[in-house]
Chains A and B, each alone.
Chain A
Amino acid sequence: MKEPTREIYWNISHIWLMYALLVPAIAIGAWGIWRRVQRWRRGKADASRFDRPTLRIKRLLDHSLAQRRNPIFHRLLTWGFIVLTIATIIVALDADFGTAIMRGRFYLYFQSLTVDVFGAFVLVACIALAARRPRFTPLLAAIFVIALTGFLVEALRIAATHDPWAAWSPFGNLIAKVVPVSVVAHRTLWWTHLAITFAFFAWLPFTQLRHIITSPLNLYTSNLAPIGANLKSVDFEQERLGVATLDDFTWKDRLDFDACTECGKCTDACPAHTVGKMLSPRDIIIELRDRDEGSAAIAGAAAAQALWECTTCAACVEACPVFIEQMPKIVDMRRHLVMDEADFPDGMQSAVMSLEKRGHPFTGTQATRVDWTQGLDVQHVSAAKDADVLFWVGCGGALIERNQKVIRATAQLMQKANVKFAILGRDEKCSGDPARRIGNEFLFEMLAKDNLANFTKHNVRKVVTPCPHCFNTFKNEYPRYGATFEVQHHSEFLEQLVDEGKLAPAREDGVTFHDPCYLGRQNGVYDAPRKVANATIEMERSRNKSFCCGGGGGMSFVDEPSDQRVNQERANEAVATGAKTLAVSCPFCMSMMEDGVRGRMRVQDISEVLWASQQPVIPSVARDLGGRGAMNVPRSPTRPGPSLTLGMTEGEQN
Chain B
Amino acid sequence: MNIVVCMKQILDPEVPARDFRIDAARREAERGSASLVTNIFCENALETALQSGGNITALTYGPESAEDTLRKALAMKANAAAHVAGEGGHPLHVAQVLAAAIRKLGPFDLILTGRESGDWGAGQTGALLAEELGLPCVSFADKIEVMNDGGWQMADGKASDSSAIRHPPSAIRVRRQTDAGFETVEAQPPLVVTITNAEHNVPRIPKVRDVMMAHKQPLTRFTVDELGVAPADYYEIVELAIPQKETRCELLDVDGLAQRIAEITAAL
Contact = CB atoms under 8 A, between A and B. Distances in A.
Nearest to A236: B212
Interface of A: 236, 241, 338-342, 349, 352-353, 357-359, 363-368, 371, 426-427, 440-443
Interface string B20-37: 000000000000010101
B14 A353 contact: no
Contacts of A342: 204-208
A366 B14 CA distance: 8
Nearest to A341: B207
Given A338-B208, A357-B35, A440-B208, 19 more contacts: A241-B208, A339-B208, A339-B209, A340-B208, A340-B209, A342-B204, A349-B205, A352-B205, A357-B14, A358-B14, A358-B35, A364-B14, A366-B17, A366-B18, A368-B18, A371-B18, A442-B208, A442-B211, A442-B212
Interface residues of B, number: 17
A339 B207 CA distance: 5
Interface in B186-211: 204-209, 211
Contact of A358 (B12, B206, B208, B209): B12
Contacts of B243: none
B16 A368 contact: yes
Contacts of A367: 16
Nearest to B17: A366
B255 interface: no
Name, among A341, A358, A363, A442, the residue most crowded by chain B CB atoms within 10 Å (CB to CB): A358
Contacts, number: 47
A338 B18 CA distance: 34
Contacts of A236: 212
A340 B207 contact: yes
Contacts of A341: 207
Given A357-B37, A358-B35, A426-B33, A366 B208 contact: no
A633 to B, nearest CB: 33
Contact of B14 (A241, A340, A363): A363
Contacts of B17: 366
19 contacts: A241-B209, A338-B208, A339-B207, A340-B208, A340-B209, A341-B207, A342-B206, A342-B207, A357-B14, A358-B12, A359-B35, A363-B14, A366-B16, A366-B18, A367-B16, A368-B18, A371-B18, A441-B208, A442-B211
B19 interface: yes
Name, among B18, B33, B205, the residue most crowded by chain A CB atoms within 10 Å (CB to CB): B205
Nearest to B75: A342
Contacts of B212: 236, 442
A366 B13 CA distance: 11
A357 B12 contact: yes
Nearest to A349: B205
A341 B12 CA distance: 27
A442 B214 CA distance: 14
Nearest to B18: A368
Contacts of A443: 208
A-B pairs with the 5 shortest C-beta distances? Answer: A339-B208, A426-B33, A442-B208, A342-B207, A342-B205
A367 B35 CA distance: 15
Given A357-B12, A357-B35, A358-B14, A368 B19 contact: yes
A49 to B, nearest CB: 27
Nearest to A366: B16
A440 B209 CA distance: 11
Nearest to A239: B209
Contacts of A352: 205
Nearest to B206: A342
A353 B205 CA distance: 8
Interface in B131-178: none
A386 B82 CA distance: 48
Contacts of A353: 205
B18 to A, nearest CB: 6
Contacts of B16: 365-368
A358 B139 CA distance: 31
